[in-house]
Amino acid sequence: MKKRTALIFLLILSLLLLTGCWDYTDYDDLALISAIGIDLDKNTNEVIVTLQNYVPSTVSQQSSGKSIPISGAVKAKGATFTEALSKIQQARRKKLFYAYLNVVVVGKNASRKIITDTLRYFERSPNIRTTAYVAIAKGTAEDVLTTMDPNVSVTIGQDIHGMIDQSPAAGSAFPVSIEDFNEKLAISGIEPVAPLVTVKQTSKSKTDKSSESTEDDGPIKFSKLKEGYQKINGMAAFKGENLVGWLNVKESTGLGWILNKEMSPYEEVKTFSKNRIQNTIAFSVSKSKSNIKVELVNNKPVITVDTHIEANLRKFARDMKVDYLTPDALTSAENGLADKVKSEIKAAIKKGQKNLKTDIFGFGFAFYRKYPSLWHSQYEKKWEDTFADIQINVNVEAKIINTGDSVKKFVPK
């Protein structure tokens, strides 16, 4: 009898404990955030947060008559990032939910001052995945997140996330997650980078001034979307916690080669004649691998970057004086490709070492791995100065894996 009573008691207790009611939230009560924008007001030093969320049930009718889902954007200003978030929540019926976050866009001003504190917030918050990408806006993050391509049927956050995913194929950038960014901020001898996102608006702002709240604790603005498009066209380079400059597409490709970022852009090599359309050899890079070697020569660090590229030939130049793509002809094309890649790597190094003076390549980290005690005793503290003057050698070896469907140059009649 006692055992039966105890069992019934346990079952009743389990019913109370196992229902999970405490944590129940209806899916419809969640505002799924797709992108977060962070800006800094230079005058007031306040943080401006723009949230762009999924609104799957709402569609807008475009002039073409085509229905596309719109994603609302709302922004708020606060003394801190969390204060701004709280203000947005005040004006939202649904609970802000970040598990579906695709991208965090940080404006130029915020990147120069508050990026670390903000990203550390993401790292500590369990409901934000640090696999979301980081992108730096050349202007404001708000502009990026309130501009939408009318032909795209996904949210702006998803769109930018997709563009960043595809950026290695264009050679313009490579993905950097919040986690990657934090790792680079924490490890000495390597500085963080993030994709650069620019925006082009094709229509003027349709923001209705009347939609701005006039609450005492600061304005909350519901931004109407502007037509336009975003583009990933370069990388933003940091020194420590601060943004120091931009890398253009060529420099970003070079950085990608050095950092083994699975870049797979089309590469073009011009031959002898001036006619670029006819006399260009085009390659599609399929594989790349770089090794950073560190040596001490006369007690000074010397870095050697050895890069191996594998590519497919996609177009052969008309003015090459060969009929068949023989091994000799391919060697010549391979040398051309190697020179092209070398120039990209050198451009990146020049920008990082001489102009921006920031070790985004991780040469310091490579030095530490080779000479850990020397790094701690002599170089760690003054690497910033040492890096600007070290000798960096670049060797590139290119190999054409195939020439597509043809082994012979096409000769029109």
Q: How far apart are CA 314 and CA 24, in angstroms?
A: 56
Out of 187, 320, 330, 390, name the contact with other proteins by CB under 8 A: 187
Contacting range for other proteins; rule: CB under 8 A; set: 60-68, 73-81, 82-90, 364-372:
364-372
Out of 15, 17, 277, 411, name the contact with other proteins by CB under 8 A: 17
Interacting residues with other proteins between 329 and 348 (CB under 8 A): none
The number of angstroms, rounded, from the C-alpha of 356 to the middle of its chain's C-alpha atoms is 19
Residue number with CB closer to other proteins (182 or 230): 182
User: Going by C-beta distance under 8 Å and a sequence separation of 6 or more, which residues neighbour residue 55?
Assistant: 69, 70, 71, 72
Q: Does 126 bind other proteins (CB under 8 A)?
A: yes
Map tokens 């943004």 to a residue: 243
- Residue pair 248/231 in contact (Cβ under 8 Å)? The answer is no
Map tokens 């690497």 to a residue: 383
Q: Does 183 bind other proteins (CB under 8 A)?
A: yes
Interacting residues with other proteins between 261 and 290 (CB under 8 A): none
Out of 60, 131, 203, 326, name the contact with other proteins by CB under 8 A: 131
Q: How far apart are CA 72 and CA 54, in angstroms?
A: 7
Residue number with CB closer to other proteins (106 or 178): 178
Q: Does 380 bind other proteins (CB under 8 A)?
A: no
**Local structure of 167: helix, strand or coil:** helix
Out of 1, 5, 20, 210, name the contact with other proteins by CB under 8 A: 20
In order of 200, 223, 369, the CA distances from 194 in angstroms are 20, 26, 24
The CB density around residue 180, as the number of other CB atoms within 10 Å, is 18
b (16+ CB within 10 A) / e for 91-111: eeeeebbbebbbbbbbbbbbb
Residue number with CB closer to other proteins (73 or 178): 178
Contacting range for other proteins; rule: CB under 8 A; set: 11-19, 88-96, 383-391, 392-400:
11-19
Q: Does 22 bind other proteins (CB under 8 A)?
A: yes
- Residue pair 318/277 in contact (Cβ under 8 Å)? The answer is no
User: Going by C-beta distance under 8 Å and a sequence separation of 6 or more, which residues neighbour residue 173?
Assistant: 164, 167, 195, 196, 232, 233, 234, 235, 252, 256
Cβ of residue 284: shortest distance to other proteins, in angstroms? 22
Cβ of residue 410: shortest distance to other proteins, in angstroms? 38
Interacting residues with other proteins between 133 and 172 (CB under 8 A): 165
# residues contacting other proteins (CB under 8 A): 24
Contacting range for other proteins; rule: CB under 8 A; set: 211-219, 242-250, 367-375, 382-390:
367-375
Cβ of residue 234: shortest distance to other proteins, in angstroms? 24
Q: How far apart are CA 410 and CA 344, in angstroms?
A: 30
Out of 182, 253, 290, 386, name the contact with other proteins by CB under 8 A: 182
Map tokens 């550390």 to a residue: 120
Residue number with CB closer to other proteins (20 or 65): 20
Torsion, CA 96, CA 98, CA 101, CA 104, rounded to 10: 80
Residue number with CB closer to other proteins (166 or 326): 166
Cβ of residue 197: shortest distance to other proteins, in angstroms? 19
Q: Does 240 bind other proteins (CB under 8 A)?
A: no
Provide the binding-site residues for other proteins, judged by CB under 8 A.
10, 13-14, 17-18, 20, 22-23, 126, 129-131, 165, 177, 179, 182-183, 186-187, 365, 369, 372-373, 376
